Structures are given as C-alpha cells and as structure tokens.
Amino acid sequence: MKAASASDYRELAKRRLPRFIFDYVDGGAFDEVTLERNVADLQDVQLRQRILRDVSHVDPSTTLFGQKLAMPIALGPIGMAGLLARRGERQAARAAQAAGIPFCLSTVSACSMTEVTSAVDKPIWFQLYMIRDRGFMRDLLALARDQGCTTLLFTVDVPVAGSRYRDQRSGLSGAFGIKGKSRRLFQALRHPGWVWDVGLNGRPHTLGNLTPVLGPKAGMGDFFGWLRDSFDPSVTWSELDFIRETWKGDLVIKGILDAEDAREAAKLGANGIVVSNHGGRQLDGVPSTARALPEIADAVGDRLTVLADCGVRSGLDVIRMLGLGAKTVLLGRAWAYALAGGGEAGVAHLLRLFEAEMRTAMALTGVTRIDQIGRDMLARWPGLDQNRPQTR
C-alpha cells in the first residue's frame, strides 16, 4: 500500500502494530465522542474559495518564538513513541529537522532526551507534566536546559489520567501480571515485523527520561504505577510560578480549552498556549479544539502565541486551524501513524504531503503568506450560525 494521506498511514500502522499499542495511539477516553468530534468539527470548517488572484508564489513559512519554520507545524509530544518504530523518537526528530520544523519530546518517551538530542543538530522542545516530586522536575528542567531545549510545553490537563476503555480491553492497562504479559505477547507475535524491528532491535524497552526514578529495568506495570502516583491533582495556578521561575526558555501551557483558563495563562507570563483536549484522551464530552479555538484566540491572541492540536489529519486541516486563530499547529496522531507505518521515511513523507496540501489550500483560497490567513477566509466554522459575508 502506497500512503497518500495520514489516513493511509493509520491503516499501515494498524496492520503493523500489536493491538495494545495501536489502540493506545488511536484511542481516546470513555466512548471517544470528543476524539471523533475533533476530526469532524475541523472538517466542518468551510473555506472561502477565491479566484483570479496572483498565487504563483506561495510561501508557507512562518516564525515562531524567534525561530524560522518551513511551515506552521510542529511534531507534538507522543508518549512511548519508541514502541511505534525502532528508537522512534530519534527517527521522528530527524524527520522534523529535515522538514524545518520543531520536534517536541514527551516526558514519557522511550528514548531519553540525551539520545534524541544527539541524533539532531538543532534544538528540540520538551514536554513536562506537573509531578509530585518537584526535585525530579527540577532535574528534568535542568537537563532540558543543558541539552539545549528552547521551548517547554507544560501539560496541565492531566491532574488524573482519563479512563480509556480501549486500553483496558486490549490489555495495555490494568493487567500487569502473567496473564497481562501473555496477552500482550500473543498480540505482538501476530506482528513479526514489529517484533523484529522494535521488540528485538529496539531495545532497551525503557522510558529513558524516567530511568532515574523507575530504574533501568522497569516494566509497563512500574510505568503505569508511577503515573498513577505521580500526577498531582492538587496543583493550582499559583503553583505554576515554580515552572516560570525554574524555566527561563519559552514556556507554552498545553491543555487549554476555556477562555478563562487562557487568560490565567497570560497572567502567569507564559509565552504561548496550546488549545487542546489531549486528543480526546482525557475527558470525553468536552468541546473539540476547532469549536473552542476561536473564542480563546479572540481572548488572548494579542497577549500570547496561540497554538492548537487535535483532529489534524492534513495540510488542509492546518489551514483551517490557522483560520480559526492558531499561529502554529501541533501534529499528534498523524505523525504517530506515519512513524508506525514507515519510520523516519514515513514521517518525512507525511510532512511533504502536508506542505503540498497547505500550498494548494493557500492558492485556492487566494493567500500567498501565512500571515494572510485569518477568520475572514472562513465561510463557516463550528458555532457560527450563518455565513460570514466579509471580503478581503
């Protein structure tokens, strides 16, 4: 199968990955209503097609936090991406660098920060949760600084982990004894290509950034136990001063879904926010990013940089998110599918597809630069009851 879209890479990933890993990447919380709305609401955004404009020179490049990007896209943090392909985070980081966009490493990555930074020449971003062990947080932030990370994505929408039915059904969570291991092993053996690439040649199977607290031989049960015990549900806005004081680089608060919370992030002194519902993986039934984004962008877009994720499956979707108010879009599942389906080459190919799709969408909507994309290029979007009869 030759992939021509993120959906094609999803099918390749489904064929290649053991079920418990595919469902971890593909699934969401509860009945996955928000997960589906993320995609459906974004695709419901209608663009105004404009004609007879000079679009012979379309430039999708932009600038974010002082860095020139080839296009307004970054690879967002994906936990345990090293289970999708051999040393997966290294491969994805290289693909992002080649495409001229940022790569953000998850706290719960398979590859350690030092392993990933050694694979690329340019700085990466780092994602962090609020962890009960503040000393360990300080150590991670110091390591990120020493490794040249420029931007911290601080995830705030996980005071507790969401209930993910698919993970329970597949045996990823809640089954860590002999039965659980046997169940996952049986699923893995049905995918010999994955066993060879990741199971045998992708070792060590650890969470590199957590080795100081979990040890070098920690298993999946140790990891999920650590997550359960380490998320801090008592955190309030006042305690985020700790992050702002400790981290001197660009600070982006990830997981904003309400305009009031966005205003609080601006008061904190953050450089940016990510409008996100965690890919529908936390609280089911909340608004899609596409529905929440316009109000949030209107509320704080003049005070900090607004990024967004969730539901983005094409370069056309990137244009839609920019029209709704985002300055840059984080890819999540899209690059995870491509990594699982084709490794570094798959991620690189996906990013080329996205850039080509963005160029096409820009030309057909009559814009040639990213800063020309705004609400006036939209005909309809979630929450709008009538057409918007504006002209440029």
The catalytic site residues sit at: 278
DSSP 83-114: GTSTTHHHHHHHHHHHHT--BEE-TT-SS-HH
The one-letter code for the residue type at 43 is: Q
The DSSP bridge pattern shows strands 151-155 and 250-256 to be parallel
Q: Please, is 246 exposed, middle or buried when counting C-beta atoms within 10 Å of its C-beta (0-12, 13-18, 19+)?
A: middle
The C-alpha angle 49, 50, 55, rounded to 5 degrees, equals 115
Q: Which of 125, 85, 87 is nearest to 107 (CA)?
A: 125
Q: How far apart are CA 324 and CA 376, in angstroms?
A: 10
Residues β-bridged to residue 127: 153
Residue 378 phi/psi, 5-degree rounding, is: -100, 140
- Is there a contact between 144 and 121 (Cβ–Cβ < 8 Å)? no
Q: How far apart are CA 261 and CA 326, in angstroms?
A: 16
- What's the gap between Cα 133 and its chain centre? 25
Q: How far apart are CA 42 and CA 311, in angstroms?
A: 7
